[in-house]
Amino acid sequence: MIMGSVQLVVVAFAVLARWTSAGWFLLLSVLGTLGLAPLILFGPLIYAGFRAPHAAWPLLVFADVLLLTTALTLADGGDNGMLIPILDDQKANSRTGELVHRIGTLTGASYLLSLVALAVWMLAA
């Protein structure tokens, strides 16, 4: 129960971080899929928080770190260039922004892989 509540808070922070720099990619992914994309991305993490055994908690914490890092560093497309929550508009459209976006892409892919590992762990238990 405790870890499930933690997962809800982590997902809320990730969603808030993404909405601070909402661009066209975010709007299209939410509206274009009728809310299915956020459900697929966040649902397994919340479900695992409530149902995973205590031995899986380190993997949940790892997934939380990856999710928050992705939410803060992944760029979104705006009318005037890239939008990154931890950078202002000028730095987001520079070489620094490209490097930060690359970090966000790598941590995003790692987050998805951690969800797969968590699902396999829960199915095996």
Across the range 9-17, mean pLDDT stands at 93
Residue 81 falls in which region: left (phi positive, over 0), alpha (psi -120 to 50) or beta: left
DSSP element (H, E) containing 111: helix 95-124
Residues 73-97 as b/e (b if ≥16 CB within 10 A, e otherwise) read bbbbebeeebbbbebeeeebbeeeb
What is the predicted pLDDT for the residue at 38?
87
pLDDT number for residue 25: 78
Query: What pLDDT score does 97 carry?
Result: 92
Report pLDDT digits (tens) over 71-113: 999 988 877 788 899 998 888 889 999 999 999 999 999 999 9
Per-residue pLDDT reduced to its tens digit, 15-51: 998 888 777 777 887 888 887 888 889 999 999 999 9
Residue 92 confidence (pLDDT) = 85
